[in-house]
Structure 1
Amino acid sequence: MTDTNSTLSDGARASDAQDKGYRPALIRGGWMLLMLALFYAAQLILIIAAVLQFGWLLFAKEENERIAEFGDKLANWMAIAARYLTVAGEAKPFPWTDWK
């Protein structure tokens, strides 16, 4: 009987160890799905900013500083998001960190 209880305890411990590794992966997967949706939205915003900057260059004959600065910050956000999505980093982008 002791052997059976010992085996059950070992099996329960192995199951607990698997659950501890499984749950964080599911949580990260949820964050990754949210990040993918936000990354897609960021791509659309980037396209709009690029078209606006091109129009500004065409008609004003100079770059719009605000659009250029926004583009720089958006590029940084997308880089942080890409690193999180590919598990190359643990840092989440804005709004979880500062908008840089």
Structure 2
Amino acid sequence: MDNEQLKENISNKNQWTRIIYMVLFAIILYLSMMVVWLVVFVQLLFALFTGKPNHDIADFAADLSQYVYRVVAFLTYTSEQRPFPFNDWKGNAFSTEVKSQQDDIN
């Protein structure tokens, strides 16, 4: 790489815009992981007290995990598509199946 190419890369407005978005999404990822741990804790409580996880929380957790995946994909340059709020919250979400502890034993 020569100096001219380096100057061009450093002065590229698109690169600096992406860096700003990456910092923003790194902060969002940090906050999202706190929410993930909260969901883990709440599901643990549901499993302890009711014997099974809460289906609605599991659906939210599936959406949240897909969102975290999209943020990580953007941060690692795997995807150029910016996650929510710049695109839909729900992308191509995978389906979740909540199993009871009894299903795991059998």
Q: Which TM-score applies when normalising by structure 1?
A: 0.78
Q: Which of 41, 45, 49 is matched with 1:51 structurally?
A: 41
Mapped to 1, the partners of 2:9 and 2:80 lie a distance apart of 21
Higher relative contact order (CA 8 A, sep 6+): 2
Q: Which TM-score applies when normalising by structure 2?
A: 0.74
Larger radius of gyration: 1
Q: Does 1:64 align with 2:54?
A: yes
Equivalent residue runs for 1:1-100 within 5 Å: 18=8, 22-100=12-90
* Secondary structure of 1:43's aligned partner: helix
Mapped to 1, the partners of 2:60 and 2:11 lie a distance apart of 39
What CA RMSD, in Å, does the superposition of the two structures yield over aligned residues?
Answer: 2.0
| Larger CA deviation: 89-98 vs 71-80 | 89-98
Which runs of no fewer than 5 residues in structure 2 stay unpaired?
91-106
* Secondary structure of 1:87's aligned partner: coil
Q: Which structure's residues are more often helix, by fraction?
A: 1
Shift of 1:20: 8.6
Percent of aligned pairs with the same amino acid: 24
